[in-house]
Homo-oligomer: A and B are copies of this chain.
Amino acid sequence: MARLLRAATWGLFPWRDYCSRATQAEVSKDFVEALKAVVGTPHVSTASVVRAQHGQDESKHRCRPPDAVVWPQNVDQVSQVAALCYSQGVPIIPFGTGTGLEGGVCAVQGGICVNLTHMDRILELKPEDFCVVVQPGVTRKTLNTYLRDSGLWFPVDPGADASLCGMAATGASGTNAVRYGTMRENVLNLEVVLPDGRLLHTAGQGRYFRVPALAFWPQVPHHVIWPLTYLVFPGTRKSAAGYNLTGLFVGSEGTLGLITATTLRLHPLPEVTMAATCAFPTVQAAVDTTVHILQAAVPVARIEFLDEVTMDACNRYSKLNCSVAPTLFLEFHGSGQALAEQVQQAEEIAQHNGASHFSWAKEAEERSQLWAARHNAWYAILALQPGCKGYSTDVCVPISRLPEIMVQTKEDLKASGLTGAIVGHVGDGNFHCILLINPDDSEELQRVEAFAKQLGRRALALHGTCTGEHGIGLGKRQLLQEEVGTVGIETMRQLKATLDPRGLMNPGKVL
């Protein structure tokens, strides 16, 4: 309901200039009928509110909605839908939870949105091999709830309760990446439907098993789920077998194929977890502390920065009572003794940089409250100016350059007259400047874009990247060119043209 309401409201927000450049690909009635024949009539919609809802994510990017939305029930149907679109030249936009931040689901050239959330089964858990196979409808919170009694967890945590296959498509990361890596390091295998409908397993073939009775029952309509169809992916921790196709599809943002299952690496739940907040007199002191903690090789699990604007917003929104000052949120994972050492080292470094005392949250409940506040920072900041929309920058720089770029960004923010706050996964050198935009003020929108582009260029000049985890989507294509250079862009274009020769997979994104 909240979704639909938001869709309806945000629909007023002006569409972006991409629309003018878009080629029209409105689908015919016959085509919609053909889709219905594949996935079943209840699983296709051309209702305008549904299309509007699927044509946008949580970003400022607005575009024309898709011409139709389909909900396949299994991978065979995804494959048939792709083959149908391929034969008719209709663009495909994969859709998970719609929590992206770079306009990745906008239907720049029309076409159909393939909503994969009905494929929501956890296909196989192999606790002894530390891996799990999930379909695109499984979100990270669902998975971690499912894993609760297994002694394992999946640590990649971008804040939003995103679909795990969507996270693979975006190359997401988040608060735990400093210790556990990003999706790049935690995806072991992908099942991908290629643009022409063929099925690819990026790191070894899946093996299908069907209930024999059903396998001999060809009359079953396509949209009936085979109850015991499942696939087994290899779960080796390493491989040197041919080109790393998994690596190529992780972070490809739906532009090379549709991810219909992923094998993820799981990690043992830490024996003990301790979380703390620590306020600093200046941004510089907080960021210096981060750099020193990393350089001292303290294995922190999370080290997050929130500036005083964010802390103020979080206090109001999440009913906290923290100091309104640049603050680090830290978390340590380990066994009892190891943890005591880590904590002591971190405290010493923070105090050396002028921090006030650590405020510890050892109990699970207190900890969840703290991290819930961190995860809700986006909504807390939006709530500072009701009616505003948010835009988040996403630069990432080598850790040694972090203090200078953050201090400079803070000053630029003041000078720009924009309202914004800074939060960051500073352990990776990655931070976000969350800017508030009045949807009716096109001049402000331009200032926000200029600010974001300037910040991206500053990161590049410091040998950083314009995006640590949100991806390129629609908004950073110019910066990507500057980042990877002519040969880099040409190489990416060649790869795209090879794997998606008709240019139908999520057109207009990344390149």
Residues of A within 8 A of B (CB): 126, 128-131, 170-173, 177, 181-182, 184-185, 194, 198-205, 232-248, 250-252, 268, 291, 294-297, 334-335, 337-338, 340-341, 394, 396-400, 428-430, 460, 463-472, 476, 480, 483-485, 487-489, 491-492, 494-499, 510-511
Supply 13 further A-B pairs (C-beta < 8 A) apart from A201-B488, A334-B338: A128-B291, A130-B294, A177-B237, A185-B185, A205-B488, A234-B465, A240-B468, A242-B251, A247-B248, A248-B248, A337-B341, A494-B499, A495-B495
Q: Is the CB of B487 within 8 A of A491?
A: no
| Minimum CB–CB distance for A294 against chain B, Å | 8
| Minimum CB–CB distance for A185 against chain B, Å | 6
| Minimum CB–CB distance for A205 against chain B, Å | 4
Q: Is the CB of B241 within 8 A of A466?
A: yes
Q: Is the CB of A204 within 8 A of B237?
A: no
In the complex with contacts A200-B487, A484-B205, A492-B242 CB distance below 8 A: yes
In the complex with contacts A235-B398, A337-B337, A204-B465 CB distance below 8 A: yes
Q: Is the CB of A268 within 8 A of B248?
A: no
In the complex with contacts A128-B295, A205-B485, A499-B494, A243-B248 CB distance below 8 A: yes
Q: Is the CB of B185 within 8 A of A181?
A: yes
Q: Is the CB of B185 within 8 A of A488?
A: no
Q: Which 8 A-B pairs have the closest CB atoms?
A: A247-B247, A268-B297, A338-B338, A234-B463, A128-B400, A129-B398, A171-B240, A205-B485
| Minimum CB–CB distance for A482 against chain B, Å | 8
Please pick, from B205, B240, B465, B496, the residue contacting A471 in the complex, using a CB distance under 8 A.
B240
CB neighbours of A248 from chain B (8 A): 243-244, 247-248, 495
**Bound Cα distance A401, B472 (Å):** 40
CB neighbours of A200 from chain B (8 A): 487-488, 491
CB neighbours of A244 from chain B (8 A): 171, 184, 247-248, 250-251
In the complex with contacts A204-B465, A400-B129, A480-B241 CB distance below 8 A: yes
CB neighbours of A340 from chain B (8 A): 337
**Bound Cα distance A492, B241 (Å):** 11
**Bound Cα distance A248, B250 (Å):** 11
**Bound Cα distance A170, B430 (Å):** 30
